[in-house]
Amino acid sequence: MPATVADASARLPPIRPAQPDERPSSRFQRAPGTPELPATPVRFILHFVFGRYRWWLASMTLSDTANATCGILIPYALNRIITAVTSSLGSGSRDAEAVAQAIQWPLTLFIAFTLGELLFGRTTSGIQFRFGPRLRQEVGRTLYHYVQYHSHRYFSENFAGALAHRISEASQGVTQTLWTLITEFWPIAIVISVANGLLLSANWWLGGFLSCWSVIFITVSFLLARRCQPYALAAAAARSETTGHIVDSVSNLAAARLFARLGFEREQLDRTQTKELEAVLRSNRYMERVRWFQFGSAAILKIGMVVVAFHLWRTGAITVGQFVMAVSLSLLIIAEVRNLSRRFLEFFEFIGNISNGVRTIVRPHELIDRPQALAAAQLHGGIDFDDVTFRYGDGGAVFDRLTVAIPAGQRVGLVGFSGSGKTTFVSLLLRLYDPQGGSIRIGGVDLRALTQDALHEQIGLIPQEPTLFHRSLRDNIRYGRIAASDAEIEAAARRAHAHEFIAQIPGGYQALVGERGIKLSGGQRQRIAIARVVLKDAPVLILDEATSSLDSITERAIQDALDLEMTGKTVIVVAHRLSTIAHLDRILVFDQGRIVEDGTHAALLSKRGSYHRLWSMQSDGFLPDGGDRPLPAAAAAAQDAGIAAGGALDDADLAGDGRRPDDDSRDSPVLMA
């Protein structure tokens, strides 16, 4: 063992045994190399505001500030133009040249503000459409990076589709929140502030009227939006439920046809849509009340501003130009704030989406690599479980001080009834979970001394239900070793007996397999998974019912190929069909988290213990689901008679596939009561 690996393993602190009432640590820990994402919505947004795109955001804010300022100052320029004209005419001058000279500077201001509004408005839009998609991708990429390092337990408790939706919602929520702040709320604040300043400078009554209206309008709009939020959320939830129902129904359309339930599914959809309609109508009715307030307030502002301005002009308190400015400013303000409550509501919805995403994704990582963990190692030794204690959550212990040693190069089968601990044994070896007590080593190296990537590079796993990417067959096989050549991929496919069916598929190795490999049969998916692991060529090989989806002829051929692959490797085989492990070097029999028997196939049969009973109960090499159910009377009598006449059933009594030599029931079901 390399010294560096030994040192890293020796530095690990011992794991204390878990206490019955112990909870996972509440300390917020992150996997090394993952982004340090804040766990609150506001701080999460600020994390990206002050990130790599901060200068883009600053430029966009300045540009929109200039845009809003130019737009609201156009009425001021009109005021100056009208005042200049009326002043010239009022002095008795009818000379066009004199009037033109008087309006030269106000007209220049008007042109400058108009062109500025155009230029800065387009600049803001240009920054937004160039920078927006990049920011959205940055948020999504960062969240995906973070979620990759969550534990197996996390993914078993959260649906993959829901996580993808949360990432999409949060990434869109960040950009939409920033756009709402920069291009909606900030310009409104500028428009109202500048307008109030202009009107206050012209006349206190005009400024006071607009100021009072602005405060009341914004406050009531905010409160109405908060009151409307539950209705909007209920409507959104109802729409999501309807979408989910449609997806579920379409996904199971074949079952609906076979059970003649197409009409029933339409009725179910009608009921779901009725609930959605009720929720949407409630939300729309409330929003209509909000619109009545907004449009009513706008009418009050227009009428009130005209009446007040006219009265002030009639009394000589303001000029004609100031009168026009006051009316123009009121119209601009109305255009800006007309749907302010709707914008508040959308803003709260964006924040809610970010909050949901952050609350779901930005959680402490349960399993992290130690700071001194090795990123690369070659492990060729045996597997040791030393005094291992493990439980799922607050449940009872699955393993209680389990100890077992598997020498390097040994081929070991794991058998036992469902729930006996086989899957947990493999999960701990893969470090999908950490034990609460004891240690697990490969080649004398504690698994925690390696990074998880380094560990998984040393293990090849063929699961019972392989998962494939919606990519080409070539890419799915190449996943075992990214740098593999096309020739190596084809060689691995031939050894897994996958090349034959691949050659018959249109497109061959370039053919797409569909979502999770849906375009392939179960046996074909299994062979692609086997080819992937053959290409990986890891020193530790784990087979979890690797040939369960294959026909008998293909299974025999692949079993021979797998036997070749096992040469020189430490192999763990989980099996319910005992005939597939009878030839292995060693068999471990699990029962309720304990290894109750350990030995070769022949030695375990001669003991007449648990393994002997499992073997005897099989008709076609499968284990029954429960261990305490009795054999059928005829089978039990036959078994007793066989044992009484010939003693223990051994390899001479049973054919290699778990059947008696004279058994004609090639595909008979499991003999169970």
| Pair 577, 567: CB distance under 8 Å | no
Give yes or no for residue 671 having a pLDDT over 70.
no
- Distance, in Å, from the CA atom of 341 to the CA atom of 221, rounded to the nearest integer, reads 5
Tens of pLDDT, residues 369-423: 887 877 777 777 789 999 999 988 777 788 888 999 999 889 999 998 878 888 8
| DSSP code of residue 184 | I
Where would I find the beta strands (DSSP E) of 392-446? 397-406, 411-415, 437-442, 445-446
Q: For the chain, percent helix, then strand, then coil, each to nearest 5?
A: 60, 10, 30
Give yes or no for residue 102 having a pLDDT over 80.
no
Give yes or no for residue 444 having a pLDDT over 80.
yes
Q: What is the mean pLDDT of residues 241-256?
A: 82
Query: What are the structural domains, with CATH classification, of the chain?
Result: 41-361 (1.20.1560.10), 397-576 (3.40.50.300)
- What token pair was written down for 421? 């601990």
Percent of the chain with pLDDT over 90: 13
Q: What is the mean pLDDT of residues 266-284?
A: 90
Highest mean pLDDT among 85-89, 170-174, 204-208, 628-632: 170-174
Give yes or no for residue 636 having a pLDDT over 70.
no
| DSSP code of residue 610 | H
- What token pair was written down for 252? 């199971």
Give yes or no for residue 159 having a pLDDT over 80.
no
The full DSSP string for 20-68 is: TT-----S----TTS----SSHHHHHHHHHTTTTHHHHHHHHHHHHHHH
Q: What is the mean pLDDT of residues 142-170?
A: 83
Instruction: Pick the more confident residue, 6 or 470.
Output: 470
Percent of the chain with pLDDT over 70: 85
Q: Which of 46-55, 100-109, 464-473, 651-660 has the lowest mean pLDDT?
A: 651-660
Give yes or no for residue 130 having a pLDDT over 80.
yes
pLDDT at 385: 93
- What token pair was written down for 328? 């123009």
Count CB-CB contacts under 10 A for residue 241: 15
Size of the chain, expressed as the number of residues it contains: 673
Phi/psi at 129 (5° precision): -75, -20
Instruction: Pick the more confident residue, 627 or 213.
Output: 213
Buried/exposed 566-587: b ≥16 CB within 10 Å, e otherwise:
beebbbbbbbbbbbbbbebebb
Cα separations in angstroms, 286 against 109, 173, 185, 291, 333: 44, 24, 23, 9, 24
Q: What is the mean pLDDT of residues 189-197?
A: 85
pLDDT at 12: 53
pLDDT at 203: 82
Confidence band for 277, pLDDT divided at 50, 70 and 90 = very high
Tens of pLDDT, residues 313-355: 888 888 888 888 888 888 888 777 776 767 887 888 788 788 8
Cα separations in angstroms, 513 against 461, 474, 532: 20, 10, 14
Q: Which of 30-34, 441-445, 585-589 has the lowest mean pLDDT?
A: 30-34
Q: At what angle do helices 54-90 and 96-147 cross, to 10 degrees?
A: 160
pLDDT at 92: 56
The full DSSP string for 240-286 is: HHHHHHHHHHHHTHHHHHHTT-HHHHHHHHHHHHHHHHHHHHHHHHH
Confidence band for 89, pLDDT divided at 50, 70 and 90 = low
pLDDT at 545: 78
Q: What is the mean pLDDT of residues 164-185?
A: 88
Tokens 């959260």 sit on residue: 158
Tokens 């506001």 sit on residue: 42
Give yes or no for residue 639 having a pLDDT over 60.
no
- Distance, in Å, from the CA atom of 148 to the CA atom of 32, rounded to the nearest integer, reads 12
Instruction: Pick the more confident residue, 2 or 373.
Output: 373
Confidence band for 629, pLDDT divided at 50, 70 and 90 = very low
Q: What is the mean pLDDT of residues 499-515?
A: 88
pLDDT mean across residues, the chain: 79
Count CB-CB contacts under 10 A for residue 465: 13
What's the distance, Cα to Cα, between the start and end of the chain in Å? 52
Give yes or no for residue 192 having a pLDDT over 70.
yes
Instruction: Pick the more confident residue, 649 or 12.
Output: 12
